[in-house]
Amino acid sequence: MRYTLQIELQNLTIMRLVLSSLIVIAGLLSSQATAATAPEQTASADIRDSGFVYCVSGQVNTFNPQKASSGLIVDTLAAQLYDRLLDVDPYTYRLVPELAESWEVLDNGATYRFHLRRDVSFQKTAWFTPTRNSMLMMSSLPFSGFLIVGIRGITSTAVASPTLIAYSSPTM
């Protein structure tokens, strides 16, 4: 009986030594792996801090949704970069408010009046003001989103208040 017990204790001691050695080796390997990936993690953090990273399985030719010709840019990317007056509900396909809390179609579709949310603030620069906003600047360009929905030739833009802008067109 003693002999058997002594063998079991020796086996237990050997198993403890093997297990301890494996733990030490695993610890050394994980510290080496961490040291090897540290520069990569730092580089990734630098990229995120200094710029815009967008991963996509396709070719992106522009970040301007007005010039985009594929759904990838307009649907996926533009929504992350730009706020919209209206959006389309993916389930009902009805227009839903975003920057505009409400809107009106007047003069048989010749005038669109957007009532902007009061909590929306615009940047203040010499080239972007409520009277000279991006929709007005883009409205006459051939790749304009206005043409996509059938609005042709914006003839006037009226800023009635800080939260009300109306676009007029002679035809639809």
* 145 found inside a domain: yes
In a domain, 28, yes or no: no
Q: How confident is the model at residue 2 (pLDDT cuts 50, 70, 90)?
A: very low
Whether the predicted pLDDT of 91 surpasses 50: yes
Q: How far, in Å, CA of 138 to CA of 140, rounded?
A: 6
* Residue 42: inside a domain: no
- Kindly state whether residue 125 falls inside one of the protein's structural domains: yes
Q: How many CA atoms lie within 13 A of 12 on its CB side?
A: 6
For residues 73-84, average pLDDT = 70
Percent of the chain scoring above 90 in pLDDT:
1
In a domain, 88, yes or no: yes
pLDDT of residue 6: 45
| pLDDT at site 3 | 46
Q: Which domain holds residue 95?
A: 84-168
Give me the DSSP letters along 108-172: GGTEEEEEE-TT-----BTTBBTTB-HHHHHTTSTT-HHHHTT-B---EEEEEETTEEEEE-SB-
Write the CATH number for 91. 3.90.76.10
| Res 27: pLDDT | 63
Cα–Cα distance for residue pair 112/95, rounded to 1 Å: 14
Q: Is 89 left (phi over 0), alpha (psi -120 to 50) or beta?
A: beta
User: Would you say residue 153 lies in a domain?
Assistant: yes
Q: Looking at the 3D structure of the chain, how many domains does it have?
A: 1
Residue-averaged pLDDT of the chain:
65
Mean pLDDT over 71-98 rounds to 78
The predicted structure's pLDDT at residue 110: 80
- The b-or-e profile of 4-20 (16+ CB within 10 A means b, else e) is eeeeeeeeeeeeeeeee
Residue 62 lies in a domain: no
**Based on the number of CB atoms within 10 Å of its own CB, is 29 exposed (0-12), middle (13-18) or buried (19 or more)?**
exposed
**Greater model confidence, 166 or 114:** 114
Digit-coded pLDDT (tens) for 18-57:
556 556 566 656 655 555 555 556 656 666 676 666 666 7
Whether residue 8 lies inside any domain: the answer is no
Question: Can you tell me the mean pLDDT for 138-161?
Answer: 56
